Amino acid sequence: MAGRLPLRFAATIVFFFSFLLFISGWILQQKSLTALQAAMIQPVPSPHVAASSKHKPKPPFQLIDQTNNIPVLRSKKNLKAAHFQFVQKKENVCHSLMVLAELARLGTGADKILLYPESWIGTEEGTWSRLLKAAEKRFEVKVRAVGGLGGGALGDAGPSLLHAFAETKYDRILYLEPLGLPLRNLDHLLYGTLTAPVVGTRSYWLPKMVQQLGPLSGQVLLLTPSTRLFNKTKKLQLENPEDDSISIINDLLSSHSLILPQHPYATNIFEFRAVDHSKYTLNDWDPVKVSEESYYISFMDQSAPMPWFTWPREVTDKVRPKVPDDAMVWKALYDRWARVRMNVCGLDLEYLRQN
């Protein structure tokens, strides 16, 4: 019995000190909680604004395309812009619609316009009419029938690139050659601060003698609509009916145009088969990077069949790039074109007939 007393006494002492520690911790916790609640209910002070900064005007533009250092307007409300396409042949409706559909998929905030010949009205319907209806309903394209520039062949042809100058409802018009695809959103051009009647890329692949006749290629064109310019280009076109629209534009406006860098704004599919890329870009050639950075890819290649054909193996082997990385990107771009053609137009590739 006597041996148990020290044990009970020790247990009592341990319990007593444990209780004191618990009470001390609880009191400290309550004090901290009270201080925290008091801090939370204090009003947040308003930040001090220097008098000079209150009236500091905001810059009219911000740089959203950091890669190319192109200034664009801070608010799109200042400009009304549109993507422009036209067709003169029924079999080309799909190509123009593919361009507009891809621009829509890439999130453009601009209107989309597609002009076709008014002479088609009342003719037998077919794939072309189905695609024009799809353009309006599925892709919210503003489809209009218009007449040609004048009498004869020009009148029968219907709309032309020059009709873009007549779209004076808009401040800016962007045209992409329809035998190609946009790869990235181009709205920074439409809403940018670049000011010129025409802004575009060069025909860098042509002989120098031909380039001297006019620097613009017609692949990517940013136009400023103007009734005066439309009338002047129309007059020159009627006087030179054999010239194409880009020749007319170059004759009148090349000296007043701005030139976009070829890379990344207009990449040619044949560039992936080339050995020397110095005319296209001064940077080291990297096909994957070029494809990722390009805004537009053109499928015009005189050494290869058109992209809407399915090619026999021997043709593919002949035109395929020799460098494996180039060949991989080259094939991926052609596959992309075929995929967009099917998704937008519901058309498969056609069989290539060889002579």
Q: What is the 3-state secondary structure (H, E, C) of the chain?
A: CCCHHHHHHHHHHHHHHHHHHHHHHHHHHHHHHHHHHHHHCCCCCCCCCCHHHHCCCCCCEEEEECCCCEEEECCHHHCCEEEEEECCCHHHHHHHHHHHHHHHHCCCCCEEEEEEEHHHCCCCCCHHHHHHHHHHHHHCCEEEEECCCCCHHHHHHCCCHHHHHHCCCCCEEEEECCCEEECCCCHHHHCECCCCCEEEEECCCCCHHHHCCCCEEEEEEEECCCHHHHHHHHHHHHHCCCCCHHHHHHHHHHHHCEECCHHHHCEEHHHHHCCCCCCCCCCCCCHHHHHHHCCEEECCCCCCCCCCEECCHHHHHHHCCCCHHHHHHHHHHHHHHHHHHHHHHCCCCEECCCC
- Which pTM value belongs to this model? 0.78
Say how many domains are in the chain. 2
Q: What angle do CA 273, 275, 278 make, to 5 degrees?
A: 115
- The answer as to whether 188 is a domain residue is yes
Domain ends where: 215, 234, 262? 262
Structural domain contains residue 136: yes
Shared domain check, 232 and 84: yes
Q: Are residues 256 and 303 in the same domain?
A: no
Mark whether 229 and 86 lie in a shared domain.
yes
Mean pLDDT of the chain: 84
Instruction: Report the distance separating Cα 63 and Cα 122, nearest Å.
Output: 49
Nearest to 205 by CA among 273, 255, 252: 273
Section 272-284 average pLDDT = 93
In a domain, 281, yes or no: yes
Q: pLDDT of 124-137, one tens digit each?
A: 999 999 999 999 99
Domain identity same for 178 and 223: yes
Mean pLDDT to the nearest integer, 167-191: 98
Section 182-192 average pLDDT? 96
Whether residue 150 is found in the same domain as residue 284: no
Q: Please enumerate in sequence order all residues whose Cβ is within 8 A of that of 234, keeping only pairs 6 or more positions apart, or say none.
A: 149, 150, 162
Contact call for residues 88 and 117 (beta carbons, < 8 A)? yes
Q: Are residues 291 and 231 in the same domain?
A: no
Question: Do residue 244 and residue 310 come from a single domain?
Answer: no
Higher per-residue pLDDT: 249 or 155: 249
Decide if 46 is inside a domain.
Answer: no
Q: Is residue 287 a part of any domain in this protein? A: yes
Closest CA to 197 of 163, 173, 161: 173
Please report, for the domain that includes residue 71, its CATH number.
3.90.550.10
89 and 170: one domain?
yes
Q: Which neighbouring-strand residues pair with 205?
A: none
- Which of the residue ranges 77-86, 147-156, 275-284 would you say has the lowest mean pLDDT? 147-156
Categorize the per-residue pLDDT at 222 as very low, low, confident or very high, splitting at 50, 70 and 90: very high
What domain range is 346 assigned to?
A: 268-351
Given 208, 236, 262, the domain boundary residue is 262
Please tell me the distance from the alpha carbon of residue 60 to that of residue 4, in angstroms, as a whole number: 90
In a domain, 44, yes or no: no
86, part of any domain: yes
Last-in-domain residue among 262, 290, 305: 262
Task: Mark whether 257 and 310 lie in a shared domain.
Answer: no
- Average pLDDT estimate for 226-249: 95
Q: What is the CA radius of gyration of the chain?
A: 33
295 touches 186 (CB < 8 A): yes
Same domain, 72 and 158: yes
Is residue 292 included in any domain, yes or no? yes
Asked whether residue 252 falls in the same domain as residue 280, the answer is: no
Looking at the structure, tell me whether residues 102 and 214 fall in a common domain. yes
How many angstroms separate the CA atoms of 220 and 262, rounded? 10
pLDDT at 193: 83
